[in-house]
């Protein structure tokens, strides 16, 4: 099985401490003349913007040999399509995995945007299609439909995009989207639809993934639990969509150092920078089955209690938001844990570590070669 490793672009700040003390970008509580100092940009800096730092991360990711980079989407961060357009001209091989919700944009225009960016990047565009986790965050985007309907909309969106991109003239009369005699024409129809990464653990989510996904993506969990997640999804796909091949991907952070003791110490220091008023990234109103499983991993706030298996620590959501699990240990231990996930069927990894610039080099230089990947 071929294996791909991608990196994450930090779209809302970066640093070595908990999120509210990140020194890079404006998403923090740091004040002028305060130590640690805020950079990228500094306060009142007219010459550099946070994009200048993101550009460095993307170039490092490209140089060190990662296959691509996830550009996430959140309500109060840089916008992934805009970043991808800029980074396409700053990178040479890096595939650009853009997070997109079908609620954001009409599929006709999404098809045109993707085609244009494919031309600009010479075919390096991929989509992380997110149906949405519901709750207050979804309503803040202006999206009020319920869980299963969001996945029905995603199905229509992708049906539409695949038809509109390569079948002119194209008619579509769905529940959510409509078009009459549309479609991309030469030369905009020369590249394929972006490779599709879809997440979700509910039956509604798996049904759409089975029909459309190239890669079914989950947040990392302890390896035995991850194995059950993959086996359940594989069984579902074989029963409902036996003619399609869906591969499996996983998002997980890593913290690798020459020794396990160094790695544990740094992680503990980051954990200790969390304050009581700043450490709650968990969304209590999420409708996501996968997010709820992540929350169930956390039964304590004590550093030692958050190890859920050797070298797997489940407290990262409080440090920087997002998935809970991080692989922590020596270079060899982290490589061994990654190999265990490969052995159960994970072929696509989205890795991350703070700060993303330095850690892209470290993971690319020290960890991935131990797995036989440059």
Q: What is the chain's pLDDT, residue by residue, as a tens digit (374 residues)?
A: 789 999 999 999 999 988 888 999 999 888 888 888 999 999 889 999 999 999 999 999 999 999 999 999 988 899 999 999 999 999 999 999 999 999 999 999 999 999 999 999 999 999 999 998 888 888 888 888 999 999 999 999 999 999 999 999 999 999 999 999 999 999 999 999 999 999 999 999 999 999 999 999 999 999 999 999 999 999 999 999 999 999 999 999 999 999 999 999 999 999 998 865 444 445 566 666 666 676 666 667 889 999 999 999 999 888 877 788 999 999 999 999 999 999 999 999 999 999 999 999 999 999 999 999 75
d(CA 86, CA 115): 15
The answer, yes or no, to whether the previous bond of 187 is cis (omega within 30 of 0) is: yes
| Whole-prediction pTM | 0.93
d(CA 373, CA 23): 32
Distances (CA, A) of 175 to 89, 135, 152, 200: 38, 23, 9, 22
16, 362 Cβ separation under 8 angstroms:
no
Do 38 and 337 form a contact (C-beta atoms < 8 A)? no
């Amino acid at each position: 099985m071929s294996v791909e490793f991608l990196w994450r672009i930090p779209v809302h700040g970066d640093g070595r401490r908990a999120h509210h003390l990140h020194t890079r970008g404006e998403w923090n509580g740091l004040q002028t003349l305060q130590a640690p100092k805020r950079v990228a940009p500094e306060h009142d800096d007219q010459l550099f913007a946070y994009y200048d730092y993101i550009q460095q991360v993307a170039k490092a990711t490209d140089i060190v040999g990662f296959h691509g980079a996830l550009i996430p989407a959140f309500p109060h961060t840089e916008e992934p399509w805009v970043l991808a357009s800029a980074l396409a001209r700053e990178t040479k091989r890096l595939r650009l995995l853009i997070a997109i919700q079908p609620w954001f944009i009409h599929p006709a225009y999404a098809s045109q945007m993707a085609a244009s960016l494919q031309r600009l990047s010479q075919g390096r565009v991929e989509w992380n299609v997110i149906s949405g986790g519901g709750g207050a965050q979804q309503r803040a985007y202006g999206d009020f439909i319920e869980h299963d309907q969001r996945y029905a909309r995603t199905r229509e969106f992708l049906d539409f995009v695949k038809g509109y991109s390569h079948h002119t003239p194209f008619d579509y009369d769905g529940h959510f989207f409509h078009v009459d005699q549309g479609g991309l024409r030469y030369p905009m129809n020369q590249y394929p639809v972006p490779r599709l990464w879809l997440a979700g653990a509910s039956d509604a989510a798996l049904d759409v993934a089975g029909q459309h996904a190239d890669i079914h993506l989950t947040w990392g969990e302890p390896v035995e639990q991850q194995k059950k997640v993959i086996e359940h999804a594989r069984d579902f796909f074989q029963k409902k969509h036996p003619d399609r091949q869906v591969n499996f991907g996983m998002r997980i952070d890593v913290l690798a150092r020459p020794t396990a003791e160094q790695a544990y110490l740094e992680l503990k220091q980051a954990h200790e920078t969390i304050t009581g008023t700043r450490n709650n990234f968990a969304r209590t109103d999420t409708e996501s089955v996968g997010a709820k499983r992540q929350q169930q991993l956390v039964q304590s706030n004590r550093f030692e209690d958050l190890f859920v298996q050797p070298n797997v620590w489940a407290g990262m959501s409080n440090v920087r938001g997002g998935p809970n699990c991080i692989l922590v240990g020596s270079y060899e231990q982290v490589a061994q844990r990654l190999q265990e996930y490969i052995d159960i069927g994970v072929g696509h990894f989205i890795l991350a570590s703070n700060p993303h610039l330095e850690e892209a080099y470290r993971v690319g230089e020290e960890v991935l070669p131990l797995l036989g990947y440059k």
